[in-house]
Amino acid sequence: MRTAADRNPALGLTVWATAAVVYVAAHAVDTEFSMFWVFGLAFGFVLQRARFCFASAFRDIFLLGHSRNMKGLLLGLAVASVGFGLVMSRQVPMTSLGVYPPSANVLPLGIHTGLGGLLFGVGMVLAGGCVSGSIYRMGEGYIASWVAFAGVMGGLLLSAYTWNWWWEAHIAAAPRLWLPHWIGHPSALLVTLLALACVYLWVLSVEHRAGMVVPRSSRDQPQPESVSDDLRSVARILFVQGWPVLPAGAVLGGLNVLLFTAQEPWGFTGEVSRWSIGMASLVNAAPGPLAGVEELPGCVLVPSDGLFFNHMFFLVCGMCFGSFAAAVGAGEFKLRVPKRPVRYAQSLGGGVLMGYGSGIAMGCTIGALFSAIPSLAVNGWVFGAFLALGAWIGTHMIQRLE
Amino acid sequence: MARTPKTMVRTLDVRGEICPYPMMRTVSALKKLSTDERALEVVTDHAPALETIPTQAARLGFQTDIEETGASEWRIMLTRTEAVEGS
């Protein structure tokens, strides 16, 4: 049983106070900065509290016949689809005109989508976490996740060097398929929800074939006897105990709708590419101009602009810091240093595969999946299918590296 | 048989491991236990393993007791249940 021994509320409050100071400072410079900082904190907090991991959502189906995280992911996608659907039906009331919602992740669909998903799927299983998973585990103190993140930056840079080839050969002429163009808003949403329900039925059947074992039920809570007792128990549920996955999925889906309503869907590999391209330009190794990137939505590569801060910088750093704050508050922060050298190679290699895959697919499990399926875009489903295939291959690989 | 039962419990230390190796190495170790070994002790600092190890252990016929031993460190005691004895 968990004890309060190593939990330090004062330390937790200090970390949150630091987050508040950053908020105030960012707000003074640009209100967009502070808004994205808060979104980042919220995403990181929820990911850490629920240990919400997209890599394990796919991997555990193949490895364990277990679908805890996949169920959370599916619920999050359903919630976000309804929200995105409503927002997009206001943005583009007349679907017959052929225009696209301005910031939804309706991306060019082609070989790059499938190959990107495949590479990403292998990479996230090898590295033990996707990009968002690595960012929240960086905040929890996993050294291997910092290595994986460095790999992601390297992979994104490699994809930038080859971007113009992909653009010429595949992306420029690739179609952007948006379901509402064919069947209108209500049917597009209905089809998406039905497809999510089909995936749900499939994972249930996999789970039952594997022989479902009900994990230990959570410990009994004593009945709270006063308002302060009740508040304490709510605070424990929110900040100390791990969250169940379904509320976390719903909250992440809801946060994504809010972010989309405020500006653009959740995603960050474009921003991370800006960092690595920026670093490469410091040593005069930047890739040349990237064709077509200005006209694409989603997490497409971002050329270095010579600036240090932008709003997405605060989103990515906010995710890492939100997870750090959540971990400290729950007494779960700890530096975890892998003892086996192969784990560093796996994390770095997996990171490079994820970086390259998300570079050509214009998004990771967030931008190309968690924000793309709710955009009612076909590319989200194709990316997801190849992600699953990649995760299946990766699952075989990690079993040989035990 | 006059043999005394083993009182020593084997310990598997998977601290520092990345996901999902704490669970995978536990499963491998459980499969390698000889039939007269009643239990395995796992030391981990990977919180997600607290959900995956009990399920996988139960599938192999072990029950789980988890004790928090420090800042994000847990001792997981996996004990053979009688039902699958001799299997």
User: Which residue, among B13, B14, B15, B19, would best test binding to A if mutated, counting the most A CBs under 10 Å from its CB?
Assistant: B19
Best A48, A64, A240 member to test B by mutation, with max B CBs in 10 Å, is A64
* Residue from the list A128, A142, A213 with its beta carbon closest to the beta carbon of B58: A213
Among B16, B59, B67, select the one facing A337 at the smallest CB separation: B16
Give the residue among A290, A364, A349, A307 at the shortest CA–CA distance from A154: A349
pLDDT digits (tens, 9 = 90+) for A72-108: 999 999 999 999 999 999 999 999 899 999 999 999 9
Output the pLDDT for position A10: 85
Mean pLDDT calculated for residue range B1-28: 82
Contacts of B56 in chain A (CB under 8 A): 64
Question: For residue A12, what pLDDT band results from cuts at 50, 70 and 90?
Answer: confident
Residue B83: what pLDDT?
Answer: 56
- CA B6 to chain A, closest CA, distance in angstroms equals 27
Contacts of A339 in chain B (CB under 8 A): 16-17
How confident is the model at residue A200, as a pLDDT? Answer: 97
Put simply, whether A333 touches B (Cβ < 8 Å) is yes
Confidence band (pLDDT; 50, 70, 90) for A220?
Answer: low
Q: What is the pLDDT of residue B53?
A: 93
Model confidence, pTM: 0.94
Per the model's pLDDT, the better-predicted residue between B51 and A176 turns out to be: A176
Q: How far is B1 from chain A (nearest CA, A)?
A: 36
**pLDDT top residue among A210 and A203:** A203
Three-state secondary structure call for residue B9: coil
pLDDT value at residue B36: 85
Percentage of residues in chain A with pLDDT exceeding 90? Answer: 83
The answer to whether the beta carbons of residues A291 and A300 sit under 8 Å apart is no
Question: CA angle at residue B49 from B59 to A370, to 5 degrees?
Answer: 105
Flag if A216 and B54 touch (Cβ within 8 Å): yes
Taking contacts as CB-CB distances below 8 angstroms, the residues of chain A near B55 are 64, 66, 213, 215
Q: What is the pLDDT of residues A293-336, one digit of tens each?
A: 998 988 999 988 888 899 999 999 999 999 999 999 998 999 99
Q: Is the pLDDT of residue A267 over 60?
A: yes
Confidence of residue A212 (pLDDT cuts 50, 70, 90): low
Q: How many secondary structure helices (H) and strands (E) does chain B include?
A: 2, 4
Is the minimum CB–CB distance between A339 and chain B shorter than 8 Å? yes
Query: B59: nearest CA in chain A?
Result: A213
Q: Is the dihedral of CA A126, B65, B70, B41 positive or negative?
A: negative
Mean pLDDT to the nearest integer, A30-40 = 97
Is the pLDDT confidence value at A203 over 50? yes
- Single out the residue of A395, A394, A401, A387 nearest to residue A54, CA to CA: A387
SS3 call for A3: coil
Average pLDDT over residues A268-283: 94
Q: Is the ipTM of this complex over 0.90?
A: no
Average pLDDT, stretch A370-378? 98
The answer to whether B55 contacts A242, with C-beta atoms less than 8 Å apart, is: no
Among residues A75, A104, A69, which one has the least CA distance to residue A87? A104
Strand B39-44 relative to strand B10-13, pairing: parallel
Q: What is the pLDDT of residue A324?
A: 97
Rounded to the nearest integer, the mean pLDDT of chain A is 93
Give the pLDDT band of residue B7 (cuts 50, 70, 90): low
Instruction: Assign A48 a pLDDT band (cuts: 50, 70, 90).
Output: very high
pLDDT of A217 reads 52
Q: What is the mean pLDDT of residues A169-189?
A: 97
CA distance linking residue A185 with residue A188, whole number of Å: 5
Per-residue pLDDT band for A4 (boundaries 50, 70, 90) equals: very low
Average pLDDT over residues B19-46: 94
Q: What is the pLDDT of residue A225?
A: 83
- What gap in Å lies between CA A384 and CA A365, rounded to an integer? 8
Helix (H, G, I), strand (E, B) or coil at A285: coil
For the cut 60, the answer to whether the pLDDT of residue B2 exceeds it is no
């930056």: which residue's tokens? A153
